[in-house]
Chain A
Amino acid sequence: MTAAGLGLPGGPEPQAAAGGDGPGDGPKPGDRLDHWITLEADGSATLHTGKVEIGQGLHVALAQLVADELGLPFERVRVAPVDTDDSPDEGITAGSRSMEETGLGIHRVAAEVRVALLAAAAVRLGVPAAELALAGGEVRAADGRAIACTDLASDGLLGRAFTGTAAPRPPAQRRVIGTSVGRPDLFGKVTGGRVYIQDLELPGMLHGRAVRPPGPNATLGAIDDAALRALPGVVAVTRDGRFLGVVAEREEQALAALERARRSAGWDAGPDIPSIADPRYLVAAESAETVARERSDPAALAGAVTRLDAEFTRPFIAHAAIAPSCAVAVLEGGRYTVWAHSQGIFRLRNELAKVLGVPTDAVRVIHAQGPGVYGHNGSDDVALDAALLARAVPGRPVRVQWMRDDEFAWEPFGTAMVVRLSAALDGSGRVVDWQHDGWGHGSGTRPSMAARPGVASLLAARHLAEPLAGAPPQVSGDLRNATPPYDVPNQRIAGHFVRSAPLRTSSLRGLGAHLNVFAVESLMDELAGVAGVDPVEFRLRHLEDERARAVIRAAADLAGWVPGERGDGERGRGMGYARYKDSSAYAAVVIEVEAGTEIRVSRAWAAIDAGMIVSPDGLRNQSEGGIVQAISFTLHEAVRTEGPRVATRGWETYRVLRFSEAPTIEVALLDQPTQPPLGAGEAFTGPVAAAIGNAIWSALGVRVRDLPLTRERVVAAIG
């Protein structure tokens, strides 16, 4: 089996990861089995992965796969800490690829460990492997004789190379896969345990803060660092170009120094940020075209009788983690040890070494859990801040916590986008032409494995006296799910990458799928209306993939969808569907909107097919969370600027969905026990946006195509 063979059999190749370079992650043929799974003396097993837990429940699902193959209870599989000194390098934990690549691979490694243990025991016991049972950390024969797994593995059994040839247990023999084992991490989270990187406390630890410029174009003039050093508890003040940082014995002392530095530093705010209020500035900007798909059938096109054109926009959107990013770093004996809640600790290590001017092995990065990130936020950047401040106080660990306004102002945002669509129907009500033009600034500016001299992702690197240029965004993210999933004989799908960006951008949950699916699925509803066909039926007529049809039907059934149903002027329902990245989970959702004094989503009925379901409640939880976050993106969220600065600085200027607005959600899980698991974390971002737009149309008879779908915009559309 080749590495590519660990992808999706028969399906399209997974797209390059957001910010990704290199092949897919997870076990590769030739890896030692014990590179991924080790057996402990007490009969338990340890899983080694480079994929990190970011609150999504991934480590639970991966441990379930191993437990199932090795005949262990879930609690007997531990996931080793993720550390650049010890863990497999698995790039980044992103793009909904963890279960597709690492999950699938780990499952097969575990199967091979099981087969190896049974084969070794068969020789020792003189009994055919088929008559032996592996469970509870031992292999047992029918006559009662047993050998412990650690005994079997003691002579280097698991040092052999992974081949990918062992088949995992068939569905009927699974005991742990497909069960909800709960979230063991919740115990610490509900009891106030030391769970997060923010809670790390090392002996002699100091508290640091970066004093960020007032805006991205600001320069730093004079700074009275003697006055800052004289403040109570201040241990160091460090400046390199326009990077300014303070370190103090106590956290509140670091905060006081930060406040003083913000007031007293001689900043020149620099030129204004070009206006981003209307994303259509993108269309006028200089751009480079990428054609993702082109398909031509002149005979079909000749049958076109009706054409619809529409333009859709989305503003910059923030990840807006519940807490700002945090890191701890210490410089000891010439080596940096950095605790970070990065999604890619090996890449972060390489970039830290580059910026700090030290060899790669002079930096160690250890992952610690942080608040949910939903893409590339400040969690890598703060690690460089911590390392730069640790350099100023060798031997003492420095904990750096960004402030709320820093996170809002400096995180890399999900890009603003514009999509123009043009589609045509023939006389029989079939879509025969689909033209897509999309504009955006791209994504994927995470730390990279690629050696790119003079370029670094990390924020502070561009503020140093000898600055490095920011990492260039990747174009592909803007085109995610731009190609309609429907059978259309003529298509041209083009992206227009606008390189010059007023704000830093990177990967945010769903990438371009948020606006692209909103656009595709809005226009499908409009086309259905012109064709005089129910929108659910209209989608089914244009889809051949049975799994796609099944999720659409399941969501419609769950909602009790009535063909031809229309809203009543206050309340209405709409549907959205997509298969994320055209290769991950299939997701469909019906949304009910109540349009009163506010535009509110009251209910959601969803269906998802994510292949083999490892952790049903984990999948349900990810689906519900994805739906709620997508409602928030779609109804409320927009980053704003004012003159030379980002004006979005806190929750009062960046509204997100609140408890009083959260809908009732039902999710149908469509299990495919014999299919590979598919990434699910981003499945609903686009479909929810579209379903809301379609529900507003059903309720009120108006189309609003500019996100967010605020009450003001809906009222303006009503006229």
Chain B
Amino acid sequence: MNLGDDLPGMDPEAPVFEVVAFAVNGRRASVVVDPRTPLLYVLRNDLGLKGTRFGCGTGQCGTCTVMVDGRPQASCELPVSAVAGRHVTTVEGLASGDRLDPLQQAFIDEGAGQCGYCLSGILVSAAALLESNPQPTDQEVRAALDGHICRCGAHTRIVRAVRRAAEGARA
């Protein structure tokens, strides 16, 4: 909410379109949008990156988590203007070309999911965790994922998959 609202005489709901440029998954992105638009909608609807999913719109469920400059963050309340010039990583950015990230492979191998809707955000948070802590304990994995809701109850498989990926990296 950094534009429009503060300018005297300007209607906060008047159309405002600006160019916002940032990097997504290592590629340059430039969109013409109302800069107050949450990053989530820009990713999904302007850039076609549907992997980042809407859960609550209020930053309480972790579903829409992306990394901004390596730090996991909810994208549903984050104005796109806040990521101008920064680097955003989404779930689509975890694989390298055709090669799945070990985390993604571990989730498949463990059958870690049912409906799977929560997995995008969880994978992003798990990737950020392993970046800073390559050999997390069970407790550390749980703590890192505590802001994520999984309603199907795949928790134990998900924790196991994250640890499997970490162990695979060590082997």
| Residues of chain A lying within 8 A (CB to CB) of residue B120 | 189, 192
Tell me whether B154 and A251 are in contact (CB under 8 A). Answer: no
| Residues of chain A lying within 8 A (CB to CB) of residue B154 | 621, 624-625, 628
A312 within 8 A of B: no
Tell me whether A651 and B153 are in contact (CB under 8 A). Answer: no
For B150, the closest partner residue in chain A by CB is A322
| Residues of chain A lying within 8 A (CB to CB) of residue B48 | 201
A319 smallest CB distance to B (angstroms) = 8
For B92, the closest partner residue in chain A by CB is A192
Max chain A C-beta neighbours (<10 A), residue from B41, B56, B152: B152
**A624–B150 CA distance with the chains assembled, in angstroms:** 13
Please tell me which one of the listed residues A183, A233, A659 contacts residue B111 in the complex, with CB atoms under 8 A apart: A183
Assuming the A-B contacts A251-B45, A252-B37, A252-B41, are A323 and B50 also in contact, with contact meaning beta carbons closer than 8 angstroms in the complex? no
A190 within 8 A of B: yes
Tell me whether A189 and B113 are in contact (CB under 8 A). Answer: yes
Which of A25-33, A53-61, A495-503 participates in binding chain B?
A: A53-61
CB within 8 Å of B: which A178-209 residues: 180, 182-183, 185-187, 189-196, 198-199, 201
**A663–B143 CA distance with the chains assembled, in angstroms:** 14
**A718–B133 CA distance with the chains assembled, in angstroms:** 42
A327 smallest CB distance to B (angstroms) = 14
Tell me whether A650 and B60 are in contact (CB under 8 A). Answer: yes
Max chain A C-beta neighbours (<10 A), residue from B49, B151, B158: B151
Tell me whether A323 and B53 are in contact (CB under 8 A). Answer: yes
**A658–B90 CA distance with the chains assembled, in angstroms:** 23
Assuming the A-B contacts A260-B13, A323-B53, are A191 and B153 also in contact, with contact meaning beta carbons closer than 8 angstroms in the complex? no
**A658–B159 CA distance with the chains assembled, in angstroms:** 12
A602 within 8 A of B: no
| Residues of chain B lying within 8 A (CB to CB) of residue A459 | none
Tell me whether B111 and A232 are in contact (CB under 8 A). Answer: no
Q: Is the interface of A mostly helix, strand, loop or mixed?
A: loop
A250 within 8 A of B: yes
Give a binary string over B16-50; 1 marks a CB under 8 Å from any A CB, 0 the rest.
Answer: 00000000000000000110111001001100111
For B153, the closest partner residue in chain A by CB is A628
Assuming the A-B contacts A182-B111, A185-B116, are A621 and B91 also in contact, with contact meaning beta carbons closer than 8 angstroms in the complex? no
**A106–B100 CA distance with the chains assembled, in angstroms:** 35
Tell me whether A624 and B115 are in contact (CB under 8 A). Answer: no
Assuming the A-B contacts A196-B117, A656-B151, are A621 and B157 also in contact, with contact meaning beta carbons closer than 8 angstroms in the complex? yes
**A626–B153 CA distance with the chains assembled, in angstroms:** 7
For A341, the closest partner residue in chain B by CB is B115
Please tell me which one of the listed residues B33, B113, B145 contacts residue A186 in the complex, with CB atoms under 8 A apart: B113
Interface size on A, residues (CB 8 A): 63
**A322–B90 CA distance with the chains assembled, in angstroms:** 19
Tell me whether A617 and B111 are in contact (CB under 8 A). Answer: yes
Tell me whether B38 and A55 are in contact (CB under 8 A). Answer: no
Please tell me which one of the listed residues A55, A195, A256 contacts residue B114 in the complex, with CB atoms under 8 A apart: A55
**A143–B117 CA distance with the chains assembled, in angstroms:** 51
Give a binary string over B77-91; 1 marks a CB under 8 Å from any A CB, 0 the rest.
Answer: 000000000000011
Tell me whether A198 and B53 are in contact (CB under 8 A). Answer: yes
Max chain B C-beta neighbours (<10 A), residue from A194, A195, A403, A657: A195
Tell me whether A195 and B153 are in contact (CB under 8 A). Answer: no
Assuming the A-B contacts A323-B54, A401-B54, are A624 and B117 also in contact, with contact meaning beta carbons closer than 8 angstroms in the complex? no
Supply 13 further A-B pairs (C-beta < 8 A) apart from A55-B152, A322-B151, A632-B153: A56-B114, A190-B91, A199-B44, A252-B33, A322-B115, A322-B117, A322-B149, A323-B117, A370-B115, A650-B56, A659-B145, A662-B153, A664-B156
B interface residues, Cβ below 8 angstroms from A:
13-15, 33-34, 36-38, 41, 44-45, 48-58, 60-61, 63, 90-92, 94-95, 100, 104, 107-108, 111-120, 123, 141-143, 145-146, 148-159
14 contacts between A and B (CB under 8 A): A191-B100, A193-B50, A193-B51, A195-B116, A250-B45, A323-B54, A372-B115, A401-B54, A624-B153, A624-B156, A625-B152, A628-B154, A629-B152, A659-B148
Top 7 A-B residue pairs of the complex, sorted by shortest distance between their CB atoms: A192-B51, A55-B115, A628-B153, A189-B116, A662-B155, A625-B153, A372-B115
A interface residues, Cβ below 8 angstroms from B:
54-57, 180, 182-183, 185-187, 189-196, 198-199, 201, 231-233, 250-252, 256, 260, 320-323, 369-372, 374, 401, 403-404, 617, 621-622, 624-629, 632, 650-652, 656-660, 662-665
